[in-house]
Chain A
Amino acid sequence: MSKPMLKVENLSVHYGYINALSDVSIEVNEGEIITLIGGNGAGKTTTLMSVSNLVEKSGGRVLFREEDITNKAPDKIVKLGISHVPEGRKIFPQLTVYENLIAGTFGKPKMGKQKIEALVEENYVLFPRLKERMKQTGGSLSGGEQQMLAIARGLMMDPALIMLDEPSLGLAPIIVEEIFTLIAKIRDIGKTVLLIEQNASMALSIADRGYVLEIGHVTLTGTGQELLVNPEVKRAYLGV
């Protein structure tokens, strides 16, 4: 098999005395949906923040397409093609849907007007609801729509890899299903997806492979199907 697109090697992160991650290693191959599941406080968000270099690492390396990005500035990482959709959506509530989408291109100053418009159109095809609400402020959208907006904004960077931090957080099951269908679509249009979730059953069912994170350690790994039927995963995360 070819070299992985994203490689996280022996990553450790401390917040003061708190050991948030120890020795975490993850690989993401081109075209895959990889999921990272784990309970609250397991270190999932911290893992993504480390890839984007939004938190300081105390050890380990991050490689993207074999380039060492461990200490690269966040804006440079965006330019390389990694998009990070942060936890809690963090859309801009006072800006319109359209403006929020444009905000997604900040990290790519060289992107031309035509390219931007093409990306907006592409997003409207994926998320028709956003098109309808184009001129509404982000804050006036429902939770599910805000999540779609956050993902769409992330896609505006035209990334090779998109990292989603708990897109199902706080959403009704029916909306969650819609979101996961969209994530599969995003993979189908050629993006690689690193998906972080507490909703293990949904995440594992669309993922090619998964990692289970527990108090800062990777404890299990396997294909989505393997993990879905794994007794430990079942007991701890699927409530069966």
Chain B
Amino acid sequence: MSKVQAFYHKHRTILLLAVFAALCVLPFVVTKALFVRYACNILLFATLAGSLNAINGYSGQMCLGQAGFFAIGAYVCAIFSTRFGVNFWLLLPISGVFAAMVGLLVALPTLKLQGIYLSIVTLGASEIIRIIAQTWEPVTGGALGIKNIPYPWLFGLDTFRPKYYYFIFLLIGVLFLLVTNRVLKSRVGRAWISIREDQIAAKSLGVQTSFYKSLNFMYGAFWAGVVGCAYAPFVNYIEASQFSTDTGFNVLAMIVIGGQGTLLGPILGSMIVTVLTESLRFLDNWRYVIYAVIIIMMMWLRPQGIAGASHSVLAGGKIKRKPVRREGARSHG
């Protein structure tokens, strides 16, 4: 299997460009509007799952509240575009910044908390955001939500058609991957990974763990906000129930299934979960049972996810060498 890897590494740029080109022609090849909508959903959720993966997968903090940051982005977009006519492209970063600020608010009091305690706080925060959205009627429209969110400008294309809106999601997804890839290879990304691997070791190396953990939370929240901003005009109408903890767990399931701590994992996860939930629609709510069973199986058989960790076909190939080296080292003496 290291052949697959070697091939990928050798032709990396070409392969990635080919995938990108294929993604660009997809909405013109797949003509059924419903399928294009699914493709949009996959891209949207791939980035949202990616933003959660930036937190859970790279700094090892267990955030369960991604739906909350997503909601912030969606509401910022909906409110500012319907009331003040602010341009969508301007709102993308603004939504991200709003979500990041809320991320910081959640991160600061929770810095000393770990594991399950942190998770509970993020879950609570996400619910508080949803409840505020549901009750603060003058601003968020309360239970009625916000309607007629204007479609973004995209070189004069009819973005109310998923076929064209698709490119907005694609653009955001690609941007997210490029930026995140850079960040992960920088000092900041390595500090996150060192915290994930071993917090005490990271501290003993002089990593300011609180600082980097807050930064990590803000980074993940930022992108969730950006995705939320892109989501609002896409569905044209938002209301609080779209941002329930179900959405949060859905995104969590994607990174668990796809594999945390890899850039590919959330994309695979989003594809699998979206295809499953759509194709099993005829089973009605029973599909969630199937879904739960899949997650339990994953935890059992491949806790690192499909693309996860070094044991994986897609990410690994290193593990094989291990016993050989061990023996080598022993006989060395």
Contacts and interface: CB of A to CB of B under 8 A. Distances in A.
Interface of A: 52, 54, 73-75, 77-79, 84-86, 90-95, 99, 102-104, 106-109, 133, 136-137, 139-145, 153, 157, 172, 174-175, 178
A136 B204 contact: no
Interface of B: 187, 190-191, 193-194, 197-198, 200-208, 261, 309-310, 318-319, 321-322, 325-326, 328-330, 333
B206 A157 contact: yes
Nearest to B206: A107
10 closest Cβ pairs, A-B complex: A107-B206, A78-B206, A142-B329, A174-B333, A90-B201, A92-B197, A84-B204, A75-B206, A75-B208, A140-B322
A140 B318 contact: yes
A157 B319 CA distance: 29
A101 B288 CA distance: 45
Nearest to A175: B333
Nearest to A135: B318
Given A90-B200, A95-B193, A99-B190, A108 B326 contact: no
Nearest to A77: B206
A54 B208 contact: no
A76 to B, nearest CB: 8
B110 to A, nearest CB: 19
A141 B325 CA distance: 7
A142 B190 contact: no
B135 to A, nearest CB: 41
Contacts of A106: 187, 190-191, 194, 202, 205-207
Given A90-B201, A136-B318, A172 B333 contact: yes
Contacts of A78: 204-206
Contacts of A104: 205
Contacts of B326: 142
B205 A94 contact: no
6 contacts: A75-B207, A90-B204, A106-B206, A108-B206, A142-B330, A172-B333
